[in-house]
Structure 1
């Protein structure tokens, strides 16, 4: 697949909805995937997320009229969210509406204003972080996570790529892995990342962390690692972005709505940290006989520095 083809919006193949997604997973998916959709599909997705009860009561024609779109757009949006058609989406919306009516607190307005008190800032950020973590947990594909854990637990070497805020998350993951005896390196310099990616092969693992999924400094080394035969993992908030073209496994993160005083990097970092923590704990569980002694040894080696 060419880069141009990858950047053209396309719908994922929907899974058979024998077991519809939970309301929490649906809400998380709407927030995560809406930015990758067309404008008309964004209107449908945002309307669905904002008023699940009202939308659950509408036919496909009714929702198309309400959003100023077409029936085809409504059906395409349902497919984007993982359903075979509008009927299954409508059932999930009814479940979400029932949950909200059962006592769940309504969403807070978390936009931070210049004149907000620090108490308000703390409350809004805390709520935003909680929502981001809940969305990420609800939308995280545990099958993909399981495969990534398996690859990391058996890898000869693990290289992690990330720049900016994602670079800090890459360092966090590698430091954890090193403490349980895994050979891991974080790379934020593109030249070094590509140079080391060339040395990877089957049995190695490369992990790319990028919220946008299109950061060239992260996509390029993952491409090289992929072409060299290494197992590759992408941690991204855009599951249909360029980086996933070179990923054997994709772990999707969520993010809060960006505002003037809260750039996307803040909330994307929070969700990325949750995902890498899940990955690390899974590896530690799989390799416990060697991980536990290694972790104990690292604690002992550093203990005198904390007295």
Structure 2
């Protein structure tokens, strides 16, 4: 997809107000791009859409510690024509939301004094919701374009640092097992020098939850300058990585108390990665099957039986 086409698609998504994946997911993804006052409004409506839908514009502005004009700006920033449309969308969102099975799980967060049962219920609910909401809002057309680029690439370089690096390593290993020439570079200097050797027909795939990690953004920028197709996977579609990516794929995970870099965001990323991997693998089922069988056979002798003996 060309840069102009991607910008048009982004504008169309904003105009729809995130209809594909739900308003709350849409607003959460745009949160870093909003002004501080608009962010206060955003946090109120995402925390309790039903309560926000019942409030007048004056009541919501007061609760957010801001003005009615800021609420109107927030509405436009997230693709709404005005406050009435926002209230309608919030009411619809509240009606379709699935409540957690444990009544003590509130907003997916972990309150002070939570016991282990509540912690387990909260984390399980939050992780499951991240996967479901990621699938709901994932741009299928962008995924198809990413699969086409990956399947035809002469070489694939995968980048990610910190917790996203684990997902990058997993993706590289998956691609390598089905015979794709793929590399993962955990060191930024090595990643940059590798990106400098990419060219037309190659793919650089960058993973960054925030979309603002300079290591990942700089590597994609270098690869794009060399003519490679660049793909970014992030939770925030208006983040810096979108400026250097030809294709942007998004997750829908919300990090909560104690859980910056949480498993929920990794699970959301892995969901997208698995979709792409299966899409690439399905392009040549015969070759994929043969490669998976060969690689499985190569490590079969490294497994032991229950008695501790190696399998023959």
- TM category (shorter chain) comes to 0.7 to 0.9
Cα RMSD between the aligned structures?
A: 2.7
Distance in 1 separating the partners of 2:152 and 2:174: 16
Distance in 2 separating the partners of 1:164 and 1:37: 25
User: Is residue 96 of structure 1 aligned with residue 96 of structure 2?
Assistant: no
Select between 73-82 and 247-256 the one with higher mean Cα deviation.
Answer: 73-82
Distance in 2 separating the partners of 1:224 and 1:146: 24
User: Is residue 40 of structure 1 aligned with residue 40 of structure 2?
Assistant: no
What's the TM-score once normalised by structure 1's chain length? 0.83
Unaligned runs of 5+ in 2: 1-9, 304-310
Q: Is the 8 A contact 1:28 1:138 kept in 2?
A: no
Aligned to 1:139: 137
Task: Tell me the alpha carbon deviations over residues 275-297 of structure 1, each in whole angstroms, 9 at most, x when there is no partner.
Answer: 21111112112232322222222
Aligned to 2:271: 274
Alignment of 1:232-251 (within 5 A): 232-251=230-249
Aligned to 1:4: none
Task: Tell me the alpha carbon deviations over residues 169-199 of structure 1, each in whole angstroms, 9 at most, x when there is no partner.
Answer: 1100000011111111001111111111111
User: Is residue 294 of structure 1 aligned with residue 291 of structure 2?
Assistant: yes
Q: Is the 8 A contact 2:142 2:247 kept in 1?
A: yes
What's the TM-score once normalised by structure 2's chain length? 0.82
Cα deviation for residue 257 of structure 1 reads 3.1
Which of 185, 196, 212 aligns to 2:194? It is: 196
User: Is residue 156 of structure 1 aligned with residue 154 of structure 2?
Assistant: yes
SS at match of 1:264: coil
Cα deviation for residue 14 of structure 1 reads 4.5
Aligned to 2:77: 80
Task: Tell me the alpha carbon deviations over residues 228-263 of structure 1, each in whole angstroms, 9 at most, x when there is no partner.
Answer: 11000111122222222110011112333332x322
Inter-CA distance 66–215: structure 2 relative to 1 (3 Å threshold): closer
Distance in 1 separating the partners of 2:276 and 2:79: 24
Unaligned runs of 5+ in 1: 1-11
Distance in 1 separating the partners of 2:112 and 2:68: 41
Distance in 1 separating the partners of 2:13 and 2:210: 24
Inter-CA distance 238–107: structure 2 relative to 1 (3 Å threshold): farther
